[in-house]
Each structure stands twice: as C-alpha cells, then as structure tokens.
Homo-oligomer: A and B are copies of this chain.
Amino acid sequence: MQLFYEPLATDTSFILNKEEAQHCLKVLRKKKGDQVTIIDGKGKYYLCVITDDNIKNCQLEVLNVETSTLPDRHIHIAISPTKNLDRTEWFVEKAIEIGVSEISFIVTQNSERRHIKLDRLLKKAVSAMKQSLKATLPVINDLVPISTFINEQKVDSTATHLIAYVDDANPLLIQNAITNSEKVLVLIGPEGDFTSEELELALTSGYQKVSLGKCRLRTETAGIVAITILNNV
C-alpha cells in the first residue's frame, strides 16, 4: 500500500500538496477516478478519489476516514545528536518504524555535534511514517541544552522520567523501571556519556538511572534498544 501525506487534509475534500501530487500523478501515474489513501500525520487515514488530476491542483474527495489506534505507551526519547548525522537520521527512521511518540534533541557537554538539520530529519520522519503505514507523525523537537530540556519537562509530572547511564555496579534494567507507566521519557547521552553533573541534575530533577543491558551501545543504538524494549514489555 502507498500512502500520501497531506497535513491539511479534511473530512470532505482537499487539495494534495504539489510534492505528493507529483509522486502520485507522475511517478505512480494515478488518474482522475483512481482511489488513493492520504494520511494527515495526526492519526487519520483518508480514502479518497481523485477528482482533478492536475499536479498543481490535485483535488481529492474523501470517501472514508479511519482513525489509527493509539499506541499502548507514549514514548518520548531525548537524545544527543551523533557526530555523523547519518546515524541520527537512521535513528529517526527506525524509531518511527518501531514506534515513538516524540523525539527531542539535546546538547550535552560531550556532544560532538551542536547543530542538526531539523528539515532533513522531518523529511526522514515523514518518509518513515509513510513506509511503515502509520498515520501519526511523532513530534520532533529542535536541539536545546540538556538543562533547558530538563527544566521544561519538569511540568510533566504524569511521565516516568529515565536517564540511560552505564552503572556496572548497580544497574536497574529499563524494563524493570517502568511498571505499567503509560508515558515514559528517556534521556540518551552522547558517545562519552553524560557528565556526572548532568547525571546529578537529572537525578535531582526526578529522573531514575536505568541500564539498557550489558552491551556497550552507540548513541543511536541505545535509542532504538530503549524504544524496542518500551514497546515490548
């Protein structure tokens, strides 16, 4: 199945944006009268019929609307961008495939990268959403310092706050820290990990220190392992 993304879709009729119309009409050669499925990134699938197959004015009439089921758990990952941005893009793709509700980027003292290309990451995200047949685009937040992030998140007292940190002496596995929690936020550090000051700040702000298992993982792998475990326990 092929999905097209139109964030401004409505329940009656709407125009498909030029980029998606190009793909739909030029590449896949859909014509007036053909049926297509549109997603709005907010959880809805629109089964439509093409009523005008002009690329600049691709009109769709809605035949049926379906709402996607909500995920069992709201998963929010705040992660340091990787030195090589490819790895961060890869993280975004896989995170969406496996299932994530929100991704935030944080700068920490050991972060080797201090800027991201949010546009590129959003494009990756849209493409992963379509490819994995999802109708909801996760919220993706631009890079902020970890202290700003922790301060902003303080207001959300309904979530379980976790920080992934290598502590060989006293590891609490992430799967044992989230008993039935419907909303989980996990901080994932850079190569070289969080500093002890950053860990301290998180702990005093109500975060719990968790382990993602015995193996040494790259940043982007740690993010994916956390999401996989949170979706499956």
Residues of chain A touching chain B, judged by Cβ–Cβ distance below 8 Å, are: 90, 94, 97-99, 131-134, 173, 175, 213-218, 221, 224-225, 228-229, 231-233
Contacts and interface: CB of A to CB of B under 8 A. Distances in A.
Given A224-B228, A229-B232, A97 B213 contact: no
B97 A217 contact: yes
B233 A97 contact: no
A177 to B, nearest CB: 13
Assembly of this chain: how many copies? 2
14 contacts: A94-B221, A97-B215, A97-B216, A98-B213, A98-B221, A98-B225, A131-B218, A132-B217, A173-B232, A175-B232, A175-B233, A215-B231, A224-B228, A233-B233
A229 B224 CA distance: 12
A69 to B, nearest CB: 8
Contacts of A215: 97-99, 132, 134, 231
Contacts of A98: 213, 215, 217, 221, 225
A213 B225 contact: no
Contacts of A213: 98-99, 231-232
A3 to B, nearest CB: 11
Nearest to A174: B232
